Structure 1
Amino acid sequence: MRPSFKTTASAALLLTLTACASTPAKKTTAAPEKQSLVIPAAKSDPVNARAEADYNFIMGDVLSREGKSEQAVALFEKVAALDPNSPAVQMRLSAEYLKVGKVKEAIQKAEQAVANDPKNAESILVLGGLYSAEKSYDKAIAQYQAVLRLQPKNSEAPIYIGSLYADKKEFKKAEQYFNSLLKNASYETPHEVHYYIGLTHLDQEGPVHQKAAEKAFKKSLEIKPGFEDALISLANLYLQQGNRGKALALCLDYQKQENFSPKVADLIAQIYLEEGDSEKAYSQLELITGNSESSLDVQMKMALLLIEQKRFNQAGAKLKDIVSQYPSADSARYYLAAVQEETGDMENAIRNYMQVAHSSKHFSEAIVHAAHLLKGQGKLNQALVVTKKGLQTNADKPQVYTMYASLLDAKADYLGAAQVLEQGLSKYSKNVELLFQHALILDRLGKKENMIAQMKKVLEIEPNHVQSLSYLAFSLAELNLHLPEAERLARRALELDPKDGYVLDTLGWVLFKQKRFSESIQVLEKAHEYQASASIIAEHLADAYSMESKTDKAKQMYEKAANLTTDQKRANHIRSKLLRLLS
């Protein structure tokens, strides 16, 4: 079965656009990208120690900017070992730990930095943000309160405190806190307070809160008309209410009245895409690239839109440009390979699929596609090597097991295929595709009872699995077992997929086995219309014609069936039927 290229535009693009143009997140603090490095000289060989620390810090920063955070962490840890009490180094290491998902370690380093420099408000804000991310709300609030003791006029900490009350579902307390800020005439950013009041209402259900949120966002924009976050939140509220036109008008008016906003253009593109107007969506993304530095994110959206529009040549050119700018952009490389596969450039498609990094979310699909293309070129052994290596690295996913097993199946290594599938099922015991393919292999091995049991297991998990319904029905018919049940299964499969020639063939064969030859012919003729090049369907139809004494039609279909198959043994078997018919 050919791997699907459905993971392209609409699903992937909507997901990307929605993630980037949704309501802005509540404020959280993140560890600063770069802190000044001040390392006192070590007691032994201070010159070399300082030089080593400086070198490691600089190289760590370079690696971090290149996205190689794991390597950057190792270098910053070396710097920290030279001076374990440097708040600047501790905060830098905290930031890098956060990038690689080591939140506990990030918190620990930030705590050490604050302990070593308890009057550094910036570090305390970062620590509060880390506590907030871990939902340690009371600890976070305590940090923000500490900031206010150091900097009574700090405008960020009060917003964070109010937001945390809302996160704790203490909505009244949050609103009271925000309103107390509004009563303070010296508070510098009242537009932000109204904005967060709006977000607090959005966290609560019901039309009353939606109206209150709308009022708060509008008040925020009244105070500061160019406040982008409030505008986007208000537009998203209208979208949530199903008022796409109002959201679009709001955004378009904002773009006319204020300086161009890439985020608002992104939201407009999302709205156009949801309306099915990919041309206008693409135009908005072009505006972003024309008014700001074209980011990877924006360029990827443009490429996905081109794919959605089936403008594959342009999509390929755009994706090649992205890959040249961002060699480690695995999504771009994966979609470039998919476009190349779609346009018949198989060699480059295989090459790009195989260059997708092991750590990429696309790695498993890339392995499956590469193996499928290699198999199509007759390079079965190479496809096996690629798939096996994939399983040994990071492609331990159900679809890779099924691909590997299908390749072994093609080599008639049924025992090997069964072992691979059993290995996959030990990890994904309820994956229907693994179970289905395992049932097929059990059938190849002549284990009919086990195959039937496995097919029934598939149908327990997914009752509408058409292939299992059809295969089980056909198998029961071949064994002359439970024919009424086989007919029920076949008819259910046909309800789900009424134009599948093979499903029709299954029902026709079940009817044939019940000696309902006239009904069988009607169904098999329809199956042959849908799958005129299928030898097995032509043979079944010939059998049915033969039983109804329609000799000329049977002769014609037997000859066609024999000519359609590439299996010489099977072709000889069909011709022997023809000889018996004519004798």
Structure 2
Amino acid sequence: MFQAIKTPNHPFLFVFFCFLSLSLFAAEPGTRTKECSLLEPGVPAEYFLSRALREQVDGFQASQRRKPEDSKLSFERSVSFLDSYHLCLKEVGKDPSALSSETQSLNYLELGSLEKAWEWSESAIGKSPEVSKDLVLLQTRIRIRQGELAKASDVLESSLHKFPNDPDFLYLLGNINFERKLWNQSILYYTALSFVIERRDNHSKYKFLTAKALGELNYKLDYPKISIKRYNEYTTAYKNDMEVLFRLAQIYFVLGDFKHCRQYLEQIREKNPRDLDASHMLAEIYFMDARDLAPTYFATLKKEKKIPKEGIVFLLDKLVSGSKTGLEAKLRTYIQENPGRLSPRVALLELAEKEKLPDYEILSADTAQYAYEYRQYLTAEKILRRGLSQITAKENAFEEKSLYYEKISSCQEMLGLWNHSILSTREALRLTKETEKSLRLRFRLAYLYLQGNLKKESLSVSVLSETIKENPNPTHYYLRGLAYFQLSKYKESVSDFSEAIKLDPKNFNYYFYRATAFDKLKQFSDTESDLKTTISLNPNASNAMNYLGYLYAEKDMNPEEANKLLNQAVSLEPDNPAFQDSLGWVLYRKKDFNRALLHLNFAASLALERGFEDPVIYEHLGDVYLAKKDPVNALQFFKLSESKLKLESNKDLVAKIKKVQKEISE
């Protein structure tokens, strides 16, 4: 880990000390004065520095040759020569130089004297007119060796605005925060690094390491489709990484895409026939998703002697082969001992249907619920429809069917099948006679009308208006307020959010969304008040912090408060592109252009990682480059912003483009 941190440039040090050594004795003949009590007359103090540098180079070379004792002796001699050099400087009233301090720090780091290494690195920084990349990386190495990963991250972050596109810095920050399990922070830096690699250094040594890290991070942060994309980038170079192939199979399993899951598991079996995990997981997939092919696959496992004498694969093999004796009891016991497994529940449900077990309906509902919770929405829907077909014409059958349609609707919603979900909800609503269930289903129907790009906000308002007459619940007013907002009826939206607040004055969401409606009505004081109330009710309301901070920046108000709010929002959600954009904009307003560029580039890279490009971010980047008197880059981002606009043209942006084009042509 942390392989990005490099030692100083040894060839440079070698050449430097050679030239220095030659110059030490090139004095004019004649009387030689004594410059240091530790040296002969005429020998300058730099002699000790030269010897120290030579010993340090020898120390690194011995380390590379795997001669630790020789290496240690060389570093110790280098320390001794530098001590002598510093005594010579002290005799003439001088302090250690930046070079000698950094060299001594590096010696102590290699010797494991970490406190001394840090002290000398601080001395080097104090003597340096401008802190170099090597010195920052040296301090980072010291903190890592001390086990102080948070402090190591702070060292890098404090200088990142000076090296915003440096791959070593970004890789290290991604790596350190990954080790700290700060996934959102880690994905920020790895995404920025990927952005740099794609645009500046497509052959970077970090390219595939970054793709793998982003695959894992997006998986952890529940962006499975982005995770697949990143892992696939990695496997173009590392086709035999079994761990990644298995992770891809797991992701597809979570997505309910058993076809692709099977493909990756079969790849693993082909590349590594001894892999039992892949073989057994594939058995469960065949059982749940390809029942007609399952017997052939289980027969293959038998030939390969991969059917264990107990466990889930053993039980599934029994069911597939038609051996049902004692199977029900064994499956129930297995489920009790392993409640998180889906395949034994599916197996027991199949057995219950074939054997006409009395608790079939209960098992059907429970299995569908588990499938839903494990995001196997297609599997859950199949189980629910099978259960629906088994409901006989008995008392309360309509209510049971209504409940099944409601659950089917939830599965369709999670699959993004909005119209199907609406139809299922309508059917559930048609079948029920229960007042509470009817209200719940109407609320759900109104909610579904607002999803996707259905453009059915008016239908949502109509359903909610009828519901509110019967039950003026705060959530009903809240949802209708959102519907009115989407219809650009901001006064009505404010009115509904206000009604919701009267009924539930402690709900911070109501204040936040009323603030957004007030903002559309250009009522700044009301907007500000509601956003402050949101934050007071919920100290972690990052969306309100971002909104208020950005408004202050736009209006050139309360710059310090704006900066504080946006830094709080970013600390809570570092991988939120909107928050990074807002912070960059505030820094631009403060004329801190380098830091502004850093955060705006974070925003642009994060937006791309999430699959969209925001014209506002690109326009802001153009504004910063223009302020830095870089019209070429400014024009590039202004045009990029214009190309991403989906609605009507931005007149201000068009004027900027014309102005910059004229400036460049002149």
In 2, Cα distance between equivalents of 1:313 and 1:419: 40
| 1:577 partner amino acid | K
Aligned to 1:111: none
- Cα offsets for 1:323-379 (capped at 9, x unmatched): 452432344322211222333443221122233455228536623432224x62223
| 1:300 partner amino acid | A
Does residue 280 (structure 1) correspond to residue 344 (structure 2)? The answer is yes
Where does 1:221-300 land on structure 2 (aligned, <5 Å)? 269=335, 271-273=337-339, 276-284=340-348, 286=350, 290=355, 292-300=357-365
Question: Using a 3 Å threshold, how does the CA distance of structure 1 residues 514 and 310 change in structure 2: closer, same or farther?
Answer: same
| 2:565 partner amino acid | L
Could you tell me how far 1:441 is from its partner in structure 2?
Answer: 0.8
Query: Which of 526, 529, 536 lines up with 2:616 in the alignment?
Result: 536
Does residue 371 (structure 1) correspond to residue 462 (structure 2)? The answer is no
Quote the sequence identity (%).
Answer: 18
Where does 1:42-57 land on structure 2 (aligned, <5 Å)? none
Does residue 359 (structure 1) correspond to residue 433 (structure 2)? The answer is no
Aligned to 1:396: 473
Aligned to 2:641: 561
| 1:279 partner amino acid | S
| 1:382 partner amino acid | L
Kept in 2, the 8 Å contact 1:285–1:298? The answer is yes
Could you tell me how far 1:568 is from its partner in structure 2?
Answer: 1.3
Structure 1: any 5+ residue segments left out of the alignment? 6-247, 253-258
Kept in 2, the 8 Å contact 1:409–1:441? The answer is yes
Could you tell me how far 1:476 is from its partner in structure 2?
Answer: 1.4
In 1, Cα distance between equivalents of 2:630 and 2:337: 61
Query: Which of 541, 546, 556 lines up with 2:626 in the alignment?
Result: 546
Where does 1:492-507 land on structure 2 (aligned, <5 Å)? 492-507=568-583
Question: Using a 3 Å threshold, how does the CA distance of structure 1 residues 286 and 315 change in structure 2: closer, same or farther?
Answer: same
| 1:574 partner amino acid | L
Question: Using a 3 Å threshold, how does the CA distance of structure 1 residues 454 and 527 change in structure 2: closer, same or farther?
Answer: same
In 2, Cα distance between equivalents of 1:453 and 1:269: 53
In 2, Cα distance between equivalents of 1:320 and 1:395: 34
In 2, Cα distance between equivalents of 1:565 and 1:308: 38
| 1:366 partner amino acid | R
Aligned to 2:566: 490
Question: Using a 3 Å threshold, how does the CA distance of structure 1 residues 549 and 340 change in structure 2: closer, same or farther?
Answer: same
CA RMSD of aligned residues (A): 3.3
Does residue 475 (structure 1) correspond to residue 539 (structure 2)? The answer is no
- Cα offsets for 1:12-39 (capped at 9, x unmatched): xxxxxxxxxxxxxxxxxxxxxxxxxxxx
In 1, Cα distance between equivalents of 2:332 and 2:538: 39
- Cα offsets for 1:251-285 (capped at 9, x unmatched): x9xxxxxx9999x9778646523xx4333344455
TM-score (norm 2): 0.45
Kept in 1, the 8 Å contact 2:409–2:422? The answer is yes
Aligned to 1:380: 457
Query: Which of 570, 575, 582 lines up with 2:654 in the alignment?
Result: 575
Where does 1:410-559 land on structure 2 (aligned, <5 Å)? 410-532=486-608, 533-559=613-639
In 2, Cα distance between equivalents of 1:270 and 1:495: 42
In 1, Cα distance between equivalents of 2:474 and 2:335: 34
Question: Using a 3 Å threshold, how does the CA distance of structure 1 residues 267 and 409 change in structure 2: closer, same or farther?
Answer: farther
Aligned to 1:336: 408
Question: Using a 3 Å threshold, how does the CA distance of structure 1 residues 308 and 516 change in structure 2: closer, same or farther?
Answer: same
Does residue 306 (structure 1) correspond to residue 400 (structure 2)? The answer is no
Kept in 2, the 8 Å contact 1:402–1:433? The answer is no
Kept in 2, the 8 Å contact 1:296–1:322? The answer is yes
TM-score (norm 1): 0.51
In 2, Cα distance between equivalents of 1:395 and 1:408: 17
Tell me the secondary structure at the aligned position of residue 359 of structure 1: helix
In 2, Cα distance between equivalents of 1:392 and 1:562: 46
Question: Using a 3 Å threshold, how does the CA distance of structure 1 residues 271 and 460 change in structure 2: closer, same or farther?
Answer: farther
Aligned to 1:137: none
- Cα offsets for 1:539-572 (capped at 9, x unmatched): 1111111111221221111112122222315x22
| 1:272 partner amino acid | N
Tell me the secondary structure at the aligned position of residue 618 of structure 2: helix
Tell me the secondary structure at the aligned position of residue 306 of structure 1: helix
In 2, Cα distance between equivalents of 1:477 and 1:562: 23
Tell me the secondary structure at the aligned position of residue 493 of structure 2: helix
Question: Using a 3 Å threshold, how does the CA distance of structure 1 residues 457 and 261 change in structure 2: closer, same or farther?
Answer: farther
Where does 1:53-68 land on structure 2 (aligned, <5 Å)? none
| 1:280 partner amino acid | P
Question: Using a 3 Å threshold, how does the CA distance of structure 1 residues 297 and 389 change in structure 2: closer, same or farther?
Answer: farther
In 1, Cα distance between equivalents of 2:615 and 2:441: 37
Q: Name the count of aligned residue pairs.
A: 325
Question: Using a 3 Å threshold, how does the CA distance of structure 1 residues 282 and 521 change in structure 2: closer, same or farther?
Answer: same
Question: Using a 3 Å threshold, how does the CA distance of structure 1 residues 315 and 480 change in structure 2: closer, same or farther?
Answer: same
Tell me the secondary structure at the aligned position of residue 450 of structure 2: helix
In 2, Cα distance between equivalents of 1:299 and 1:573: 60
Tell me the secondary structure at the aligned position of residue 480 of structure 1: coil
| 1:384 partner amino acid | V
| 2:604 partner amino acid | H
| 1:371 partner amino acid | Y
Where does 1:28-107 land on structure 2 (aligned, <5 Å)? none
Could you tell me how far 1:523 is from its partner in structure 2?
Answer: 0.5
Question: Using a 3 Å threshold, how does the CA distance of structure 1 residues 512 and 286 change in structure 2: closer, same or farther?
Answer: same
Could you tell me how far 1:524 is from its partner in structure 2?
Answer: 0.2
- Cα offsets for 1:219-261 (capped at 9, x unmatched): xxxxxxxxxxxxxxxxxxxxxxxxxxxxx9xxx9xxxxxx999
Kept in 1, the 8 Å contact 2:445–2:460? The answer is no
Question: Using a 3 Å threshold, how does the CA distance of structure 1 residues 304 and 547 change in structure 2: closer, same or farther?
Answer: same
Structure 2: any 5+ residue segments left out of the alignment? 1-221, 223-310, 316-325, 392-396
Could you tell me how far 1:417 is from its partner in structure 2?
Answer: 0.6
| 1:404 partner amino acid | R
In 2, Cα distance between equivalents of 1:295 and 1:390: 36
| 1:507 partner amino acid | L
Question: Using a 3 Å threshold, how does the CA distance of structure 1 residues 581 and 413 change in structure 2: closer, same or farther?
Answer: same
| 2:445 partner amino acid | I
Aligned to 1:317: 382
Could you tell me how far 1:573 is from its partner in structure 2?
Answer: 2.3
